[in-house]
Structure 1
């Protein structure tokens, strides 16, 4: 039986990355550096690339930021989206300076002719536009009609923008409809998805700090993905953006939509647990961040249930008092001291993955789809 059937959409390109239902769901993030600080911005984008970010967005609040885009783009390997608010001239400058896509909210750009200038130049340069509609940026006339930023208000706003852009002959668009709560976001996207075939970028805006934001994002994004909705996604957190990318892949992997990197399976601990599973599992996860091949790695707290509960893991260790047992696909292959266990586990995973640590950077094939 088919697990998830994705909603059919048209295809939109962001640089060399296709967005739409005919292609894998794309993981995106956004830098939190000052864009005009080219060194810091490039360094952070490189970090994002190493954990699998496929499209990156940067804030463009000034002319200096827009003028930094060519040098940033020259030094990175993923498409670059310029995030512009209020000043249409910054959007134009960003496009002229090589942005692969611009993210705008037409409602805060101002007069219609300014938005049309952005669309005209994007059309001439052959780049896409992401139209963002958030619960805090609905036009006054729509907000007055509904009295609150309810899902119907977000959807009407997005559909109005789509009609305007289509009247100008521009359909190279993807949309995002986001609220800071799960309910508004889910209902808005489901309603919009039922009315158009434009690709959707999904996420919960202003989701929060690491744990609460991750939970809220996993619930909201997970519901939409299960419904087949979503072509790109960002997990928005108040933390380093590389954590957004890691969590995005964990959400996709949980729904069997993307497989990338190591999935650490660890027991919740109990009275039989003879080792510090929490610390060990976190260390294993950190040490194996460089692996791109999709593998399951188990860290178990006792020998009673270790291999049994994790028998479908590719590699695992289970604590058994003063020693660990090392198992591969459910079969015990060695007995190790506590000092040996971690390193042997890492070595065995790298052997299976066919990869070797090299200064903590990724090597090997492209991200698995």
Structure 2
């Protein structure tokens, strides 16, 4: 049995495409995507939701375009968004043409599902004219009938064959700015399909475990599926599909990337599960801190440990740490060194101020280095 060396992640080589201003694939960072759930023709509600996703760190946001009202609204949405917008098209090729003209950075469409070769050619012409990428999205729940008849059920071979068929339709029209997903709600099926596809194509791969479930169950399922692929270097952009608000999908996506050391954004919290030794309410403290520190984008680490068993050791490895003590008096660590004590009262406010100050310090130090690099 071959065991993967710890912390050894070598990205799968692939060519790079552009989704608007965001590079996907090649040596670009793994991007995090989500999808709105508002009616797209409600411009205000959709833009408000996109804004929350942007604040959470979303690199790319997808919106549904099932009708003319949606593609008409898309022009305003694209103008208001700060991130590239992907138009989700399924069967009606005219929606793809309208979305491309409205400024979509990418079209989510399966070329084989929209009819004749001429329709595919029209979509390709519109994509080229407007600088759109295309995302081929194969799904285990909507495989073509002839593949189900051939294989008897959704399986990795069927998903991969579907993807290759759709790719060929684009390549036949000399279009190469595409990325591909082979999603399934069965994480074993999805992972096997992605592994198989990764060996046969050179395009970027969009990862996801579709219809993963609610916040807790879907997060676990997605982390196992997406995380195992990322660990083996497969994947250039991800979407965590949860029955939860889209900004939560973004936060979970970044937590996956942070856990794997692939990409850091915001505060990485190290905390204990709590026990009878805890000197303060660890669970509630961590919940409150995670909420109040969502605005921090600077990569940094914070340890919150309830007692002195593991607290000092964890604090030595983080930018800021707090360890529970007796009589409501707790030790604060800065850059791994014991620094001062804090009482229960005002402890959370104190930690928030420390984190904000540390983030400002890191950013101030980074600015001259960035200027020097230029």
Counterparts in 2 of 1:159-238, with a 5 A limit?
159-238=164-243
Deviation readout 1:171-202 (Å, 9 max, x if unpaired): 11110100101111111011111011011000
CA offset at residue 345 of structure 1? Answer: 0.9
CA offset at residue 97 of structure 1? Answer: 0.8
Which position in structure 1 is the counterpart of 2:288? 283
Query: SS of the residue aligned with 1:129?
Result: strand
Counterparts in 2 of 1:220-369, with a 5 A limit?
220-321=225-326, 322-354=328-360
Structure 1's unaligned 5+ residue stretches are 357-363
In structure 1, what is the Cα distance between the partners aligned to 2:82 and 2:314?
40
In structure 2, what is the Cα distance between the partners aligned to 1:135 and 1:111?
23
Preserved CA contact (<8 Å) 2:111 2:170? no
Preserved CA contact (<8 Å) 1:235 1:247? yes
Mapped pair 1:145 → 2:150: yes
Preserved CA contact (<8 Å) 1:303 1:325? no
Distance change in 2, residues 1:302/1:35 (3 Å): same
Number of aligned residue pairs: give it: 359
Mapped pair 1:59 → 2:64: yes
Preserved CA contact (<8 Å) 1:66 1:93? yes
Query: SS of the residue aligned with 1:4?
Result: coil
CA offset at residue 111 of structure 1? Answer: 3.6
Deviation readout 1:179-228 (Å, 9 max, x if unpaired): 10111111101111101101100010001000000000000001111111
In structure 2, what is the Cα distance between the partners aligned to 1:235 and 1:169?
31
Structure 1 residue runs of 4+, over 4 Å off? none
In structure 1, what is the Cα distance between the partners aligned to 2:17 and 2:309?
52
CA offset at residue 167 of structure 1? Answer: 1.2
Query: SS of the residue aligned with 2:262?
Result: coil
In structure 2, what is the Cα distance between the partners aligned to 1:355 and 1:272?
34
Counterparts in 2 of 1:96-175, with a 5 A limit?
96-175=101-180
Which position in structure 1 is the counterpart of 2:34? 29
CA offset at residue 304 of structure 1? Answer: 4.2
In structure 2, what is the Cα distance between the partners aligned to 1:101 and 1:239?
24
Normalising by structure 2, we get a TM-score of 0.92
Structure 2's unaligned 5+ residue stretches are none
More helix as a share of residues: 2
Distance change in 2, residues 1:143/1:355 (3 Å): farther
In structure 2, what is the Cα distance between the partners aligned to 1:88 and 1:164?
14
Preserved CA contact (<8 Å) 1:319 1:325? yes
In structure 1, what is the Cα distance between the partners aligned to 2:343 and 2:86?
50
CA offset at residue 74 of structure 1? Answer: 1.2
CA offset at residue 355 of structure 1? Answer: 7.5
Preserved CA contact (<8 Å) 2:47 2:81? yes
Which position in structure 2 is the counterpart of 1:359? none
Counterparts in 2 of 1:79-90, with a 5 A limit?
79-90=84-95
Query: SS of the residue aligned with 1:68?
Result: helix
Deviation readout 1:51-96 (Å, 9 max, x if unpaired): 1100110011111110011111111110010001121111111111
Preserved CA contact (<8 Å) 2:315 2:322? no
